[in-house]
Structure 1
């Protein structure tokens, strides 16, 4: 790694959303804690960050999210009960998932003012260093950690990076889209960025997938950023301003695995099926049950 490139040690997880698409399930349970097989969606995303070498996990929470803080803490009664019942395997699994003391921080986003505002709320904890940002709804499933691939690209190029993946041309208006110098390259310079372009105007079919590496300069831009689409402070708007300054490079890192949008019911259900079929102890029986349901449909 270039000595002038500061390492990525911290990751921000914006988890203050209301999860209205999953009501009534999310009335009392945060959407990020809904389970894909037997792990909360958020745990899958934190696993990705840990595999990439992240040392400090910063959660931007909101009301009714205390269970997230509890999840990443010791639960003495549960652990004592497991120990008394000789549930060694379960105890070891809990210990593996538990961040070390001081590795987690929690801050509040008091009002639902958008992703850009959620990122800005983490500014004091991030400090003056580059950081990763992972949207907890999006499970990136591949042979390697998406964030690990991004950090490898960052160590070579520095600056700011965004994970991207192709979508059908007729769906580009649903996403944030980037233009790049080489649409087929694994890593390419970003030439343009637009949030939900009008049909037929997108600079490419590469959409932003919810993984970012950003320089701390973004915070001063977010602080002054006017509200954009939906009356919210949009991260994309500030990234565009930072890119237009021309002082820092912006690169797109192409993710070649499968992305499950667990913020939608279809994506959430698909993730459960796909990941269950990969579990050796579940796959055989589960596949037979699914096939039985399909045969009876």
Structure 2
């Protein structure tokens, strides 16, 4: 089986529903226009980013990516510290970092960039997406043809070269999107070989989307655990879901919050091989979801 083409049990019909408050059409349409305008502004500004210094460029990308998520009406919650610095803050010759995250939605891309601006590894189909495709290409995205097994060694070499050059590379090693309920998919080991070859640190992060519970909750029962009882299926972009349908679902879902949790970094020279490193990163991300309530477990 081609490792770039894993499958998930998630489908738009069964996993992408929204239970909670809904925005009216005028408000949702305004958010959709605002989000698309924010993406377009980024695409227009991208050619001028090389004129800025590395530190200013990273700050600008973080603010823009955060603004994209907020423009679509989604709150952002960042837990933990951003971790290893960008290339501009490291000594020359120091390898970059490999950021690995679970994959739920197209929102994951700007959400991670709001914390870890870097070069994304993405499927080649994204290159053809309106607005997002050209922007991704200009941002240094590393595109991979997932249906070509022969392209895998070259992709690993490309990622390794980027890491050795000090770049931060962002990868979703599940290889496909899951709805965010339960531990998710298996982390493919190939990209972790690039981290080992480059002696790069691996930074795992956990992405979750939540909506506030709709039922009344007594003050004594209203705690941090209660806040996490409503998984946000509206954010899930799974299966053959059209992008336009997903965009509309996000802007119509009121009270949607995106959380990105930065987990402790893993030295690439710790585990004995790429499979062990992939398992360790996957376990770190999955264990972070172990305290989720039963309602959020995927069936």
Q: TM-score, normalised by structure 1?
A: 0.28
In our comparison, the structure showing a higher alpha carbon Rg is: 1
Q: Which has the higher contact order (CA 8 A, sep 6+)?
A: 2
Structure with greater strand percent: 1
TM-score, length-normalised on structure 2? 0.28
